[in-house]
Amino acid sequence: MNYTAEAPAVWDPAFADADDCLLSSDQCVIQGQRYFVKGLIEIPVIDSDEVFSWGVWVSLSRESFSRAADLWDTPGREDEKPYFGWLTTDLPVYAPTSFNLKTNVHTRPAGERFSVELEPTHHPLAVEQRTGITLDRVREIAAAVLHPAGDEQS
């Protein structure tokens, strides 16, 4: 139960050939000035052992991004303090937008994607992360993501 964004919302395909830009499965740099990592917003599924997760991009400061990159394959990196970041993925099922929500990015053991913790606000995504969602909500999200409004298929 996972949906993922392929790139930060601010990524432009024209950046792909630029020397000062990079987009990998876990890291992104735009024009040598903006830095992003991919992580998971995990939401418990109520009355289940399952977790629903959004694969999202978070902008980090240059210093935090460099530190995360330096520790990328280092055993024990999960002991690193969280990095502050801004959510740079606009998840289509939330209003208001999820873009630019405040986050803390937690490092996990080498080989595992970062955990993204949202600031505990009243935004629906932050509330769901704290309180969990039902299986019906998971189905609702799946339908919205797989068949967005305006999709010609039925």
Is 154 a member of any domain? no
Asked if residue 16 has pLDDT above 50, the reply is yes
pLDDT tens column, 28-46: 999 999 999 999 999 999 9
Backbone phi, then psi, for 20, in 5-degree steps? -100, 20
52-78 residue pLDDT tens: 999 999 999 999 999 999 999 999 999
User: Do residues 80 and 115 touch, judged by C-beta distance below 8 A?
Assistant: no
Q: Does the residue 56 lie in any domain?
A: yes
Closest CA to 99 of 79, 84, 78, 118: 118
Q: What is the pLDDT of residue 92?
A: 87
Q: Mean pLDDT lowest for which of 1-5, 82-86, 134-138?
A: 1-5
Among residues 32, 48, 36, the alpha carbon closest in space to that of 6 is found at 36
In the structure encoding, which two tokens stand for residue 59, read together? Answer: 């902008």
53 found inside a domain: yes
Looking at the 3D structure of the chain, how many domains does it have? Answer: 1
Please check whether residue 151 lies inside any domain of the structure: no
In a domain, 152, yes or no: no
129 Cβ partners below 8 Å, 6+ apart?
Answer: 41, 42, 43, 117, 118
Q: What pLDDT is stored for residue 154 in this prediction?
A: 41
Q: Is the pLDDT of residue 99 over 90?
A: yes
Instruction: Say if CB 113 and CB 26 are below 8 A apart.
Output: yes
The whole domain housing 82 covers 2-146
pLDDT at 14 over 80: yes
Residue 67, C-beta contacts closer than 8 angstroms, at least 6 positions apart: 80, 83
Tell whether 37 is covered by a domain: yes
On whether residue 153 sits in a domain, the answer given is no
Show the tokens assigned to 154.
């039925």
